[in-house]
Amino acid sequence: MENLLTVSSGPHVREPGSSKDLMWWVVVALLFPTAASVYFFGIHALVMVVFLSLVSVAAEAVFQRLGKQPVTVSDGSAVITGMLLALVIPPHFPLWMGAIGAVFAVIIVKGFFGGLGFNIFNPALAARAMLLASWPVAMTAWVKPFDAITTPTPLYLAKIGEAVPGYWEMFIGARGGSLGETSALMILIGAGILFWKKVISWPAPTAYIGTVALFSFLLGKDPLFQILAGGLLFGAFFMATDYVTTPISEKGRFIFGVGCGILTVLIRFFGGFPEGVNYSILIMNMLVPIIDRYARPRFFGEKKLWQKK
């Protein structure tokens, strides 16, 4: 009886709707960076997003049927995984490689850990890391918007001291990069919808972006360029706000965002890669249990860990 009266720390649903509703609102929000990718990079972008979404749904359905589990593809989580993966890979990435990434995300990263709610890592980012390790050339084959001419990303151009696109070009999305990360405008519109529908909260993305801006300024870099040039905005609003792989408390999410920001700066400025969003979020995913342990809300009268005898 005592266990039945014990309330775990959040998150608890306080608004009308369900997790299924929240998932489909994420899909709606992702349509905006998807639209930008189609405008700048052509119909192949739409094919990639639709194809990887279908592969993710099919992989989840097959895995659950083989495991004699309830098929839950209608909750939208597999669609989100497919869309997110498509939006964090280069515009002309081969479909068959993307399909391998989608299957890896759904079955290995999520399914083998118990399914939705039990995975440690963000499935799309883990799959992207796997694809980068497996096919590094294909995963760094960036092209200019409106044509198929190979071009480096702004962060790489800055790292080697070459001329970079202007703020306006980066804001609207006329630059090289992954499908969904180039248009800050469309990312912000999508994020605005998620905030409006209370799908995401402010601590993680605000702390993430703010930390990158602060340390960029302290290290003599251009904060606005660092915000617009890479995958920071997309990662902050669509990856660092994932319910499953981020802390449960507002304080914990803020700490998570700060950690992501520090790691991103370290990788960008002192590492071998020009971009650090992918790995920073994955590393912080591993630290979520520790953050939750020390940052979760305490019950009334509960002592802190170091105060217990």
Cβ-contact 158, 221 below 8 angstroms: no
**Does residue 301 fall inside a structural domain?**
no
CA distances to 11, 94, 136, 176, 179 from 148, in Å: 45, 14, 19, 11, 13
- Averages of pLDDT over runs of 10 residues in the chain (309 residues) are 42 53 94 96 95 97 90 90 97 95 97 87 97 94 67 80 86 91 96 96 97 97 95 97 93 97 96 90 96 76 51
Tell me, what amino acid is at 47? V
Q: What is the reported pTM?
A: 0.88
Residue 303: Cβ within 10 Å count: 9
**Does residue 4 fall inside a structural domain?**
no
Can you state the angle between helices 19-41 and 43-66, rounded to 10 degrees? 150
Collapse the DSSP code of 298 into the 3-class scheme (helix H, G, I; strand E, B; otherwise coil) and give the result. coil
**Does residue 270 fall inside a structural domain?**
yes
Q: Name the β-bridge partners of 213.
A: none
Residue 270: Cβ within 10 Å count: 9
**Does residue 2 fall inside a structural domain?**
no
**Does residue 304 fall inside a structural domain?**
no
CATH for 171: 1.10.3430
Listed residue (121, 97, 125, 99) closest to 109, CA to CA: 121
**Does residue 77 fall inside a structural domain?**
yes
- Domain boundaries, position 148: 16-296
Tokens coding 36: 């930008």
Q: Give residue 301's pLDDT.
A: 52
Nearest-5° angle of CA 9, CA 198, CA 261?
75
**Does residue 302 fall inside a structural domain?**
no
**Does residue 11 fall inside a structural domain?**
no
Number of independent structural domains in the chain:
1
Q: Name residue, tokens 């979404």.
A: 53
